[in-house]
Structure 1
Amino acid sequence: MARSFPQWTSVDNHFLIPGNTELATLLLRAASLSRALPNQVARSYEDAVSEELAALPPETLHTEVERMVRQRIGQQKFREAMLTYWGGACAVTGLALPDVLRASHAKPWAECESDAERLDVFNGFLLTANLDALFDRFLISFNAQGRLLVSPALATADLRLLGISPELRLRWLAPEHQSYLQFHRARVQEHSQPIQ
């Protein structure tokens, strides 16, 4: 909340709200963020999956159809949660054009051990399409302080053409992101062969 409303945040992280309109704005953001909490996203996901599966013929349950329904709804819920958590803007650039933003998993969907891990807002970042493509293919990552890390497989000229500079960093980073980023950085190391 302090990141969303620095103008109303005191040194000791209390909020000094100037009026009712501003209080309503702050409460709306708090309600929005509560929908991005991992347990709330998982609950919303389970409800949506149950509703959609109930509408399908019984013979399709426990088939590829069910897996596809779960994945589609899960990715939709994850994207919604990421848009909420990052305030509708790229976690790096701050670009607020939802049509070009992607919900990127640090630990890939297929490698997650549970739906809770897949839907955890700390298991990813809302990124512009070019950053997402590189992050998804383990060509970039972020260090423990949120600074951009670039695989040696990427040429400096290619980064320039993509509009990516080594000075980029995450707008913020929560402690809960760290284990997922550690996983992601290890995968970047595995994929670090220079491009021929």
Structure 2
Amino acid sequence: MNPLQRTLIEKTGNDYGFEHVLVSDGDGVTLASACHPTRVLVILENGVYQVSFQAMSPTLLPELQRSFPLAGVESGRFMLATEAALAALLRRAASLSRALPSQAATDYQQAVAAELAELPPGIAGTEVERLVRQRVGQNKFRDAMLNYWGGACAVTGVAILEVLRASHAKPWAECVSDAERLDVFNGFLLSANLDALFDRFLISFDDQGVLVIAPALAGLDLLRLGVVSGMKLRWVNSLHLPYLALHRTRLRQ
């Protein structure tokens, strides 16, 4: 790898979520970020980019392999033929690293601490603190959902940010910890119409991601609600399943 090639890799990292260069030498370029804990090693050999990740979340690599099924993977390394493919992989890895447990919960705790520090003393345990925590948490959950689902509805693929909602499967108020509230697998990024139905337990999804209609909607013209037969989630992670199972038990009769 010559100096120009190393510089191009460093710039690609900086542009797509890995802004810190930890090592850059003949053996490769190691990149990191202040926004998430994942590190990446990029080697260029015989015109092929070999990319390996050191990640805190064990779900990162399976999620990346879902997004890049055509990228050759050998010994845990992604094999990519072009700089554009490298950029796409790094961008997706950075987005997932900001979303997957437990980075969203860590970001939430830091943001809450910063906001509470600016308020007058004596609010600990008050309604003001509760509202701050809920607002910040819902914003962080939405950010995590946008990162995880690539800014598009988990069902339709619609990518209009103004109509997308972050829907909890297990409601915020019923979660037992911040980690559960901020768990990216505890919900889905849905267009507003689907979000309203999901939030009211009028639709859900089975373990294969196929949309399930609540008995309460039987006989209605679902097309008017934007619900079409055969709708399903773009993908399902096994970590979604416990939350989905709980959600389905509450479908309206």
TM-score, with structure 2 as normaliser: 0.71
What is the DSSP-based 3-state SS (H/G/I as helix, E as strand, rest coil) of the residue aligned with 2:102?
Answer: helix
Q: Which moved more, 1:24-33 or 1:154-163?
A: 154-163
Larger CA Rg, structure 1 vs 2: 2
Which residue identity does 1:50 align to in structure 2?
A
Q: What is the aligned partner in structure 2 of residue 61 from structure 1?
A: 124
Quote the offset at 1:125 in angstroms: 0.3
Q: Which runs of 4+ in 1 moved over 2 A?
A: 2-16, 155-158
Q: What is the aligned partner in structure 2 of residue 90 from structure 1?
A: 153
What is the DSSP-based 3-state SS (H/G/I as helix, E as strand, rest coil) of the residue aligned with 1:141?
Answer: strand
Quote the offset at 1:58 in angstroms: 0.6
Instruction: Name which of 51, 59, 81 aligns with 2:114.
Output: 51
Sort the Cα spacing of 1:125 and 1:94 in 2 relative to 1 into closer, same or farther, 3 A: same
Instruction: Name which of 7, 19, 30 aligns with 2:93.
Output: 30
Q: What is the aligned partner in structure 1 of residue 33 from structure 2?
A: none
Instruction: Name which of 217, 221, 226 aligns with 1:158.
Output: 221
CA contact (8 A) 1:103 1:125 kept: yes
Which residue identity does 2:100 align to in structure 1?
L
Q: What is the aligned partner in structure 2 of residue 5 from structure 1?
A: 68
Which residue identity does 2:209 align to in structure 1?
G
Sort the Cα spacing of 1:57 and 1:32 in 2 relative to 1 into closer, same or farther, 3 A: same
Q: What does residue range 90-169 of structure 1 map to in structure 2 within 5 Å?
A: 90-169=153-232
What is the DSSP-based 3-state SS (H/G/I as helix, E as strand, rest coil) of the residue aligned with 2:165?
Answer: strand
Gaps of 5+ in 1: none
Aligned residues: 190
Q: What is the aligned partner in structure 2 of residue 181 from structure 1?
A: 244
**Residue deviations 1:129-173 (CA, integer Å, cap 9, x gap):** 000000000000001111110011114443111121131000000
What is the DSSP-based 3-state SS (H/G/I as helix, E as strand, rest coil) of the residue aligned with 1:58?
Answer: coil
**Residue deviations 1:78-115 (CA, integer Å, cap 9, x gap):** 00000000011100001111110000000000111111
Identity of aligned residues (%): 63
Quote the offset at 1:28 in angstroms: 1.9
Provide the rounded CA distance (Å) in 1 between the counterparts of 2:171 and 2:132. Answer: 18
Sort the Cα spacing of 1:22 and 1:123 in 2 relative to 1 into closer, same or farther, 3 A: same
Higher helix share: 1
TM-score, with structure 1 as normaliser: 0.91
Provide the rounded CA distance (Å) in 1 between the counterparts of 2:141 and 2:126. Answer: 23
Higher strand share: 2
Which residue identity does 2:81 align to in structure 1?
P
Provide the rounded CA distance (Å) in 2 between the counterparts of 1:85 and 1:19. Answer: 24
Provide the rounded CA distance (Å) in 2 between the counterparts of 1:20 and 1:44. Answer: 31
Provide the rounded CA distance (Å) in 1 between the counterparts of 2:227 and 2:77. Answer: 36
Q: What is the aligned partner in structure 2 of residue 172 from structure 1?
A: 235
Q: Report the aligned-residue RMSD.
A: 1.8
Q: What is the aligned partner in structure 1 of residue 5 from structure 2?
A: none
Q: What is the aligned partner in structure 1 of residue 102 from structure 2?
A: 39
CA contact (8 A) 1:106 1:124 kept: yes
What is the DSSP-based 3-state SS (H/G/I as helix, E as strand, rest coil) of the residue aligned with 1:92?
Answer: coil
Q: Which has the higher contact order (CA 8 A, sep 6+)?
A: 1
Gaps of 5+ in 2: 1-63
